[in-house]
Amino acid sequence: MGNLSMFLQHLTNGISLGSLYALIAIGYTMVYGILRLINFAHGDIFMLGVYLTYFGILYTSIPWWLVFVIAPAITGIIGLFLEKVCYKPLRDSPRITILISAIGASFLLQNLGIVLFGGRPRAFPVPRVLNHVVKVRGVSINVITFIIPVVTILLLVGLTYFITKTKTGMAMRALSRDYETASLMGIDINKIISITFFMGSLLAAVGGIMWGARYPQLMPLMGMMPGLKSFIAAVVGGIGNIAGAVAGGFILGLGEIMLVALLPRLTGYRDAFAFVVLIIILLVKPSGLMGQRETEKV
Amino acid sequence: MKRKIGLMLLVLVVACSSWVGFAFAQPIKIGVFEPMTGPSAAGGEMTVEGIELALEMKGEVLGREVQIIVVDNKSDKVEAANAVSRLIERDQVVAIIGSYGSSLSMAAGDIVNKAKVPTVGCSPTNPLVTLNNDYYFRVCFIDPFQGTVMANYAVNELGAKTAAVIQDVTQDYSVGLSKYFIDAFRKLTGDPNSIVEVSAYNTGDQDFTAQLTNVKNKQPDVIFAPGNYGESALLIRQARDLGIEVPFLGGDTWEAPEFLSIGGEAVEGAVFSTHFTAEAPVTPESDKFLAAYREKFGKEANAFAALGYDAYMLILDVIEKVGSADSQAIRDGLAQVEGFVGATGIITLDENGDAVKSAVINKVEDGKFVYLTTVEPF
């Protein structure tokens, strides 16, 4: 194995991990961008999505590719309910109240997961098509590591189109500026917020499925670390900015892999790396790489 | 007024009944702290299955009922310390069993030592668990032995000349076992450079591709990677994806159904040492345990259930011998255990409180753990 192919292998590994972070960060950043709400339960909705897929594949006769569509849809509906129960009653409260409610929702889902699914890990049934290895000039690539970036990019493009070009997307953007004015303009706020949450949770579930296919170990607390990392990715990219979230995800993933690969002594600080990046970004450019500076309204 | 009298009567009745209960049927409480959730959950659950089975088979000693109180230590060092504190202070147990995972046991070590509550570990194999701790004992062998067994296997059976080690730096179990493997491997090959790479990861990591790519570049004959069953299964999976074909060796934590289900085809051929196998019963007690386990759970028993069973039975045996359920008496009894016939073998505790026992080597074949051989203590 030459040095070049070794580097290429590290690069591939990094892109694979980065695109996973990016994928989860998209949902995170979308909900924030529109509702100005950091949905801390995002990582746990991600976990629910993976478990739903797991049960769908193992306990129903539905073909796996259909489960990959149905499970995110159901997760989306769960997210929608979560908003109705945990966030809607607090819509007029200070932002910190909703944030605390989000943390509560996160703990609730985690512990619900432990009660319902048990503490022992389960093996994600990876479809055979997604799980074979291709070799390109000494670099081994599992098909799934190729699919994840493609899905991420497709979602990035699709979502950007949706938000900038469609009527619902326009309503979302209007809402992100000002609730009251938007509702005066005839926008049904509840409907738009529901759609936002549905989509955010659906994206979390898609990220979850990809994660499960890459790292097929399911645990009720599996959403915590990916949730935190993609939150950081979203902040690094400029929270609320979808392209920024994708960029942030790639930076984190590549950075993590390169840290372990090139400085093996620092492996123990792998998780800390993400937080160090977060601190640096917050110090140097608090609005994130691609975020817009918000002007204070007087 | 009437109400007040009624209330007073009620208080009196409750007080009396609890006092009467105290005098006659106070059960002997044994605490269990094991990981029931988190990355080591399977190990804890398997152990508790064995303890519960033992309780069903022998639920009484000195004419008193035995009660076990299971507390989840969540595979977390801080929670492990909390769990034993709770068992000692709130539940006032006379003895404790646990825990799967050396780090978790070590987190509890100081507390049980100070509180003087004898504790019997089922499967923590790091030597530091019982070292300089008069109240900690265990029914399993320790890592200097386990590491040497695997190094012997690598050199003598596989003919390995070089090895790479990938350890979980947050687990004392993994770090300790790796060290003993490295020492033994260097000695056996007579080559100080025979360990070509030592890589690290943390519990909870899911991605090992960076470490594995580095290991692949060094082209070892064999890879020793002791760690949690979940992380290890993912690690081996990713290694096979990266085109690493050499055999993987590990320790007793690999014996969990999750290692097979998560690892899938990738873990075929993986070899690890463990404490006991249903395929090779060692004592009459093994047969008794295996039959009872089969009847209760409808499947073959694993090493951790057997160790849980042994830890419980050992404590009860000691209580019977010393004729007291007092913590100090149990400790003194445990310190003198000799030739106790357990399901996993004959248990004699040495001056540190460690059992000296044979190791079993298992291999993954066709999605099952298959017994290869038994290695006697040197």
Query: Which A residues 2-61 touch B at CB under 8 Å?
Result: 6, 9-10, 13, 16-17
Q: Per CATH, is B27-141+281-357 categorized as 2.30.130.10?
A: no
CA distance B178 to A6: 26
Q: Are B241 and A13 in contact (CB under 8 A)?
A: no
Closest chain B residue by Cα to residue A14: B210
Residues of B in contact with A270 (CB under 8 A): 201-202, 205
Higher pLDDT pick, A152 / A141: A152
CA A250 to chain B, closest CA, distance in angstroms equals 15
Residues of B in contact with A6 (CB under 8 A): 213-214, 217
Residues of B in contact with A147 (CB under 8 A): none
Residue B5 has pLDDT above 70, yes or no: no
Higher pLDDT pick, A5 / B258: B258
List, for residues A151-192, the tens digit of each pLDDT value.
999 999 999 999 999 999 999 989 888 888 888 988 999 999
| Closest CB to A10 among B199, B205, B213 | B213
Residues of A in contact with B233 (CB under 8 A): 217
Q: Are B232 and B254 in contact (CB under 8 A)?
A: yes
CA A2 to chain B, closest CA, distance in angstroms equals 8
Q: Are B260 and B365 in contact (CB under 8 A)?
A: no
Give the total number of structural domains in chain A: 1
Rg (CA), chain A: 19
CA B66 to chain A, closest CA, distance in angstroms equals 27
CA distance A252 to A230: 9
Residue A237 has pLDDT above 60, yes or no: yes
Highest mean pLDDT among A41-55, A278-292, B16-30: A41-55
Task: Tell me which CATH homologous superfamily contains domain B144-274.
Answer: Response regulator (3.40.50.2300)
A3 assigned to some structural domain: no
- Taking an 8 Å cut-off on Cβ atoms, the answer to whether A261 and B237 are in contact is no
Dihedrals φ, ψ of B242, to 5°? Answer: -80, 0
Looking at residue B327, what is its pLDDT?
Answer: 95
Q: How would you class A61 by CB atoms within 10 Å of its CB: exposed for 0-12, middle for 13-18, buried for 19 or more?
A: exposed
Looking at residue A5, what is its pLDDT?
Answer: 84
CA B140 to chain A, closest CA, distance in angstroms equals 23
- Taking an 8 Å cut-off on Cβ atoms, the answer to whether A13 and B205 are in contact is no
Which pairing describes strands B359-365 and B368-375: parallel, antiparallel, or unpaired?
Answer: antiparallel
> Which structure tokens are listed for B165?
């080690």
CA A160 to chain B, closest CA, distance in angstroms equals 30
- Tell whether A135 lies on the interface with B, counting CB pairs under 8 A: yes
Mean local confidence (pLDDT), B61-77: 93
- Taking an 8 Å cut-off on Cβ atoms, the answer to whether B207 and A13 are in contact is yes
Residue B161 has pLDDT above 80, yes or no: yes
Residue B3 has pLDDT above 70, yes or no: no
- Taking an 8 Å cut-off on Cβ atoms, the answer to whether A13 and B36 are in contact is no
- Taking an 8 Å cut-off on Cβ atoms, the answer to whether B262 and A17 are in contact is no
- Distant-in-sequence, close-in-space partners of B331: CB < 8 Å, separation ≥ 6: B116, B118, B134, B135
Q: Are B35 and B122 in contact (CB under 8 A)?
A: no
CATH code, A157: 1.10.3470
How many residues are given for chain B?
378
B24 pLDDT band (50/70/90 cuts)? Answer: low
CA distances from B315 to A54, A274, B44, B188, B335 (A): 42, 47, 19, 39, 11
A264 assigned to some structural domain: yes
CA B91 to chain A, closest CA, distance in angstroms equals 24
A50 assigned to some structural domain: yes
Q: Residues of chain B with pLDDT > 70: what percent?
A: 93
Number of H helices, E strands in chain A: 11, 4
A59 assigned to some structural domain: yes
Mean local confidence (pLDDT), A235-255: 91
- Taking an 8 Å cut-off on Cβ atoms, the answer to whether B209 and A16 are in contact is yes
| Closest CB to A257 among B45, B209, B243 | B209
A2 assigned to some structural domain: no
| Closest CB to B216 among A1, A119, A220 | A1
Range of the domain at A41: 9-284
* Domain edges within chain B: 27-141+281-357, 144-274
| A28 membership: H or E segment, kind and range | helix A3-35
List, for residues B305-333, the tens digit of each pLDDT value.
999 999 999 999 999 999 999 999 999 99
Residue A33 has pLDDT above 80, yes or no: yes
A294 assigned to some structural domain: no
- Tell whether B265 lies on the interface with A, counting CB pairs under 8 A: no
Among A120, A219, A222, most B C-beta atoms within 10 A, so best to mutate, is A120
Residue B21 has pLDDT above 60, yes or no: no
- Taking an 8 Å cut-off on Cβ atoms, the answer to whether A121 and B41 are in contact is yes
| Closest CB to B213 among A13, A121, A221 | A13
Looking at residue A295, what is its pLDDT?
Answer: 55
- Taking an 8 Å cut-off on Cβ atoms, the answer to whether A268 and B169 are in contact is yes
Mean local confidence (pLDDT), A75-96: 91
A294 pLDDT band (50/70/90 cuts)? Answer: low
- Tell whether B241 lies on the interface with A, counting CB pairs under 8 A: yes
Closest chain A residue by Cα to residue B262: A123
Q: Are A102 and A86 in contact (CB under 8 A)?
A: yes
CA B347 to chain A, closest CA, distance in angstroms equals 30
B23 pLDDT band (50/70/90 cuts)? Answer: very low
- Taking an 8 Å cut-off on Cβ atoms, the answer to whether A120 and B258 are in contact is yes
CA distance B220 to B208: 17
Whether the bond into B99 is cis, omega within 30 of 0: yes
- Tell whether A105 lies on the interface with B, counting CB pairs under 8 A: no
Q: Which residues pair with B195 in a beta bridge?
A: B163
CA B78 to chain A, closest CA, distance in angstroms equals 17
Residues of B in contact with A264 (CB under 8 A): 199-200, 211, 214
- Distant-in-sequence, close-in-space partners of B350: CB < 8 Å, separation ≥ 6: B356
- Taking an 8 Å cut-off on Cβ atoms, the answer to whether B230 and A217 are in contact is yes
CA B170 to chain A, closest CA, distance in angstroms equals 8
Residue A1 has pLDDT above 60, yes or no: no
Total-model pTM? 0.89
Mean local confidence (pLDDT), A238-247: 89
Lowest mean pLDDT among B5-19, B134-148, B210-224, B231-245: B5-19
**Domain B27-141+281-357 shares a fold with domain B144-274:** yes
User: Maximum CA pair distance of chain A?
Assistant: 65
